[in-house]
Amino acid sequence: MIIVTLTQKDLDERPIGSSILKQNPFIHASTIDLFHLVIPKLKDRNDLVLVYIDESKLSSIVKYEDKNNNQLFFPHIYGPIDENAIISIHPLIIQEGIWMNP
């Protein structure tokens, strides 16, 4: 399972994530184990939802890449997100810099 943070607008579009892919070659994602490293970048955002994805149901390619050469391999989705790959959607809640995992 991987996690993607999207706005409701991103989630509502079809295919899901297509506007992100117009700006970037991939959709940033995270594993649950690495998500705590993403939190500092999101702490001031109140427009995001967490989308839990079953990676095996994506038709898009997922590559685990270390873009910062720090031995941390984050999943990147090279294409849109299939609706049937979505396991669940939750509001992103960060309180005092701590992610409240649903």
Confidence at residue 40, expressed as pLDDT on a 0 to 100 scale: 86
Residue 47 structure tokens: 């427009």
- Structural domain harbouring 38: 2-99
pLDDT single digits (tens) 45-94: 888 999 999 999 999 999 999 988 899 999 999 999 999 999 999 988 77
Q: Which band of pLDDT confidence, cut at 50, 70 and 90, is reported for residue 19?
A: very high
pTM of the model: 0.90
Q: What is the pLDDT of residue 9?
A: 94
CATH (domain of 24): 3.20.170.20
The Cα diameter of the chain in Å comes to: 37
Nearest Cα residue to 29 out of 54, 8, 9 = 54
What pLDDT does 78 receive? 98
Of residues 39 and 53, more confidently modeled: 53
| φ and ψ at residue 81, rounded to 5 degrees | -95, 125
At position 11, the amino acid (one-letter code) is L
- Number of folded domains that form the chain: 1
